[in-house]
Amino acid sequence: VGLGGLAAYLIGRELGSDSAQTMAFATVALAELAFVFSCRSATEPPWRLPRNRYLLGAVGASAALLGAVIYLPFLQEPFSTDALGLLETGTVLGFAAFPATATELAKALARRRNDAR
């Protein structure tokens, strides 16, 4: 998660964007929100687990608050954020997805290894 945030920040700086700090913040926040689904089981993927409406609601509300802090002008100043463009948002989403994706790949490999035994 931390490396994803750092990478988003560095790419934001290379883009010459004033929103590098916002990119790092959004990447870390979204990565944690995505990763929480992978943490529900050490072996099973999230789509094979029973739905947890409270978790879905909490993640949805947190994502909405993050979006508000980034895109609503009256919240940008107190939180020191900048609105992200399409390229910046894509970068954030890509790096934010990495920890959960890596975890799910590791779980799939472990299941495959256990099934081969």
Question: Which long-range contacts (C-beta less than 8 Å, at least 24 apart) are formed by 14-22?
Answer: 15/87, 15/88, 17/82, 17/85, 17/88, 18/82, 19/81, 19/82, 19/83, 19/84, 19/85, 19/88, 21/80, 21/81, 22/70, 22/81, 22/82, 22/84, 22/88
> pLDDT averaged over consecutive 10-residue blocks of the chain (117 residues)?
96 90 97 95 90 96 98 96 96 96 93 83
pLDDT of residue 42: 87
Q: What is the pLDDT of residue 61?
A: 98
